[in-house]
């Protein structure tokens, strides 16, 4: 009789443990309660099925790396590009052996990637040619391609779901939205005329309507003078810039290496460009230098980008000089 009771008690305990395990699995956000799997649709419409939460992640772009660390899963990142400089000095990490470089942004080293045995690759559209190879090798790949503020926020949520960090991702998105709303409300309450803005991405290149920088300028209360251009980063002429007569010119610092001279040389050289002395921004000394490394990526610092731009456009509202 005692042995029979022991068997019954043991069976009950096993049943409880199994039920608890199933309950835990079913409670993980984004995971199907029926199959134990979950699916993610990326920015290219590709559906990827996951049977477990990724633990070895490779980021193929600096913006993707920033999202991973911002939502608290940086400890799962096993490889990043040579161009990653935020939120840490990854070059120093490479040298110390604390992180593996997988090569350039557009030229990832496939052998290195294979050696790291990743269970998730976070890519961009620049990697489209390599995606079939990666997927044929059995890698889970998500492509991120944000073109405006909302798509940046959606990508944060996507990565949060893929890594079972949905609450952390949602908290980050809520924080960014709160920052943007605060800026928008302050500008709207002032009832000031929107300044026309020229952002120089590179020589003869600016930000078009499908670029995240265009949306940053718009949400900061400005009017991008090339905001009607369909190309993401259209080639523009000096004559057209003069004709459009921006009120403010935004120039980024060198994006990669601190201390290097930016592509435009100096502010004085910009002022001396032929015909530019007629531009309102030149006449009113409204050339503003912004951090090129900050504005290079469409990532979790998008709220900071809008805040910096708003201060440049409305210094009197944001106690900025």
Q: Distance of alpha carbon 96 from its chain centroid, rounded?
A: 26
Q: Looking at 130, 165, 200, which one is the last position of a domain?
A: 165
For residue 8, tell me if it sits in a domain.
Answer: no
CA distance 277 to 270: 10
Q: Does 209 lie in the same domain as 137?
A: no
The per-residue pLDDT for 58 is 98
Residue 272, pLDDT score? 97
Same domain flag for 121 and 51: yes
* Integer angstrom CA distances of residue 211 from 146, 162, 233, 260, 276: 9, 25, 7, 26, 25
Q: Is residue 96 part of a domain?
A: yes
**Whether 120 and 47 share a structural domain:** yes
Helices first, then strands: H and E counts in the chain: 13, 12
Instruction: Evaluate whether residue 321 is within a structural domain.
Output: no
220 within 8 A of 309, measured Cβ to Cβ: yes
Cβ partners under 8 Å of residue 55, min gap 6: 76, 119
pTM, whole model, 2 decimals? Answer: 0.86
180 closest CA partner among 150, 145, 160:
150
- Decide: 196 and 244 in contact? Cβ < 8 Å: yes
Query: Cβ contacts of residue 63 below 8 Å, gap of 6+?
Result: 124, 144, 146, 297, 298, 299
305, 221: one domain:
yes
CATH number of the domain where residue 84 is located: 3.40.50.1980
Are 161 and 214 in a shared domain?
no
For residues 277 and 198, membership in a common domain is answered with yes
Indicate whether 216 and 131 sit together in one domain.
no
Looking at the domain assignment, is residue 10 inside a domain? Answer: no
Digitized pLDDT (tens) for each residue of the chain, 321 residues in all: 444 544 444 444 444 434 444 444 343 333 333 346 999 999 999 999 999 999 999 999 999 999 999 999 999 999 999 999 999 999 999 999 999 999 999 999 999 999 999 999 999 999 999 999 999 999 999 999 999 999 999 999 999 999 999 999 999 999 999 999 999 999 999 999 999 999 999 999 999 999 999 999 999 999 999 999 999 999 999 999 999 999 999 999 976 555 678 999 999 999 999 999 999 999 999 999 999 999 999 999 999 999 999 999 999 999 877
Distance of CA 133 to the CA centre of its chain: 24
Q: In this predicted structure, what is the pLDDT of residue 260?
A: 75
Residues 252 and 197 in one domain: yes
> How many angstroms separate the first and last alpha carbons of the chain?
86
Contact status, residue 277 vs residue 268, Cβ threshold 8 Å: no
The residue segments making up the domain with residue 238 are 192-313
- 132 inside domain: yes
Asked if the structure places residue 254 within a domain, the reply is yes
Q: State residue 171's pLDDT score.
A: 98
Does residue 32 belong to any structural domain of this protein?
Answer: no
Q: How many structural domains comprise the chain?
A: 2
| Residues 161 and 42 both lie in one domain | yes
pLDDT score of 113 = 97
Whether residue 45 is found in the same domain as residue 81 = yes
Residue 159 shares a structural domain with residue 199: no
Same domain for 200 and 298, yes or no, is yes
């Amino acid at each position: 009789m005692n042995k029979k009771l022991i068997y019954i008690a043991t069976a009950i305990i096993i049943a409880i443990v199994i039920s608890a395990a199933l309950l835990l699995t079913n409670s993980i956000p984004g995971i199907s309660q029926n199959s134990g799997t979950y699916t993610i649709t990326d920015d290219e419409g590709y559906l990827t099925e996951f049977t477990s939460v990724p633990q070895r992640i490779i980021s193929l772009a600096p913006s993707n790396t920033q999202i991973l660390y911002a939502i608290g899963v940086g400890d799962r990142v096993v490889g990043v590009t040579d161009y990653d400089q935020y939120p840490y000095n990854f070059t120093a990490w490479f040298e110390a052996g604390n992180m593996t470089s997988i090569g350039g942004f557009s030229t990832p080293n496939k052998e290195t990637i294979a050696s790291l045995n990743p269970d998730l690759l976070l890519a961009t559209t620049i990697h489209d040619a390599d995606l079939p190879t990666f997927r044929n090798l059995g890698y889970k790949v998500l492509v991120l391609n944000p073109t405006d503020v909302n798509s940046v926020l959606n990508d944060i949520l996507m990565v949060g779901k893929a890594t079972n960090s949905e609450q952390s991702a949602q908290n980050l998105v809520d924080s960014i939205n709160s920052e943007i709303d605060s800026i928008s409300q302050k500008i709207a309450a002032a009832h000031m005329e929107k300044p026309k803005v020229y952002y120089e991405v590179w020589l003869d290149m600016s930000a078009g309507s499908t670029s995240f920088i265009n949306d940053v300028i718009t949400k900061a209360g400005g009017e991008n003078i090339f905001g009607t251009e369909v190309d993401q980063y259209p080639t523009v002429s000096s004559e057209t810039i003069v004709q459009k007569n921006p009120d403010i010119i935004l120039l980024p610092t060198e994006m990669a290496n601190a201390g290097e001279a930016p592509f435009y040389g100096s502010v004085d050289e910009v002022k001396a460009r032929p015909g530019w002395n007629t531009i309102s921004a030149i006449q009113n000394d409204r050339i503003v230098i912004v951090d090129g490394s900050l504005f290079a990526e469409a990532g979790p610092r998008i709220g900071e980008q809008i805040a910096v731009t708003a201060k440049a456009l409305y210094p009197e509202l944001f106690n900025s000089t």
